Homo-oligomer: A and B are copies of this chain.
Amino acid sequence: MAKAANRTYSLYTREAVELLAVMIREARLERKLPAKELAERAGISRGLLQRIEKGDPNCSLGTVFEVAYLLGISLFNSDERALASNLAMSKEKLSLLPKMARKPQRGVDDDF
């Protein structure tokens, strides 16, 4: 009972995925690093790296981020230290929020 992935994505999502893909390919080529080598270092197959660089949205988040990391591409405009710091702050903030999202019984927040 799974009929997934006829998914439709927003333009924003498609562009974000493609941007990341292009940045990865750029960085790899700038470093003159063959796909085969990068794939090995990332622990993935060359085929998967191809899909990533092609902007396939159906690749796992972790592998794509890892490849980006190996190429020195900074996610969220954060280097390693800033990222850890952001994460700590976000966790802190999250802990202060109500743990459930219960909607008030009639329409306060439906601004989508």
Contacts and interface: CB of A to CB of B under 8 A. Distances in A.
Could you say which of A41, A94, A104 has the most chain B C-beta atoms within 10 Å of its C-beta?
A94
B22 A94 contact: yes
A107 to B, nearest CB: 11
B32 A103 contact: yes
- Give the number of times this chain occurs in the complex, counting copies: 2
A90 B34 contact: no
Contacts of A57: 60-63, 65
Contact of A101 (B29, B80, B93, B99): B29
- What is the size category of the interface that chain A forms with chain B? 35 or more
Chain A interface, DSSP helix/strand/loop, else mixed: helix
Could you say which of A29, A60, A63, A93 has the most chain B C-beta atoms within 10 Å of its C-beta?
A60
A106 interface: no
A22 B101 contact: no
Contacts of A97: 26, 29-30
Given A7-B43, A43-B8, A80-B12, A62 B17 contact: yes
Q: 7 tightest CB-CB pairs across the interface, nearest first?
A: A57-B62, A22-B90, A16-B75, A13-B65, A29-B97, A13-B66, A32-B101
